[in-house]
Amino acid sequence: MEYEEIVQQIIEFLGTFAFAISGIRHAAAKHFDWFGGYVCGIAVAIGGGTIRDVMLGTTPFWMTNPIYIICTALALVFVIIFAKHMEGLRNTWFVFDTLGLALFTIAGIQKSLVFGQPYWVAIIMGCITGSAGGVIRDVLLNNEPVIFQREIYAMATLLGGITYWFLDFLNLPIEVTVISSFAVTCLMRFLAVRYHLALPKLNLE
């Protein structure tokens, strides 16, 4: 197995765990049962990657390795064990969601490039991989999808993708490119929430 493939799998695994925890935590806030929590966790964990793989014309990543299903189950156990501390860990869950967003953005970009897609397509695929799972989660929970709110979410993935492209264009090592893209995506998300940054609203009046 090539080095980049190993990095890809590690990123997808970490992203799955982070996003699964995010989805299960939101389900817990709605008082879903354990199975409902698992469904929400798996939806947000594999939703974006599944859409990406279907668009790339390949078998969805979670169908080739059961580790992602197992990873979501472990995330469910983690949330159940620490259920009593949920309220005090709100900031921690936000961090998990942000980490998943950044990790899946990178995974989407890398896989698209492996399939020979141009960078503009790879950046869009990174955005889909990172944010589509959250849309599915919000639909299941009957919430307004976060990407349709003023809160910066998908834009953070686009900035992270552009950073990835720029550093790769400069032929920097893959480690530097991945870490920098990850940092930009997370930093943009953190700053947007901390300082209430948002895109302007559409106004036809």
User: Which tens digit of pLDDT belongs to each residue from 59-71?
Assistant: 998 899 888 899 9
* pTM for the whole structure: 0.86
Residue 82, pLDDT above cutoff 60: yes
User: Which tens digit of pLDDT belongs to each residue from 106-146?
Assistant: 999 999 999 999 999 999 999 999 999 889 988 988 888 87
User: Which tens digit of pLDDT belongs to each residue from 90-108?
Assistant: 677 778 788 888 988 999 9
Nearest-angstrom CA–CA distance, 166 and 172: 9
Residue 8, pLDDT above cutoff 90: no
Nearest of 44, 4, 70, 13 to residue 146 by alpha carbon: 44
Token pair 């999808």 in the structure block, residue:
145
The CA–CA distances, whole Å, from 32 to 1, 24, 36, 38, 187 equal 40, 9, 5, 9, 32
**For residue 201, what pLDDT is reported?**
78
Contacts of 108 (CB under 8 A, 6+ apart): 48, 49, 52, 122, 125, 126, 127, 128, 129, 130
128 in Cβ contact with 52 (< 8 Å): yes
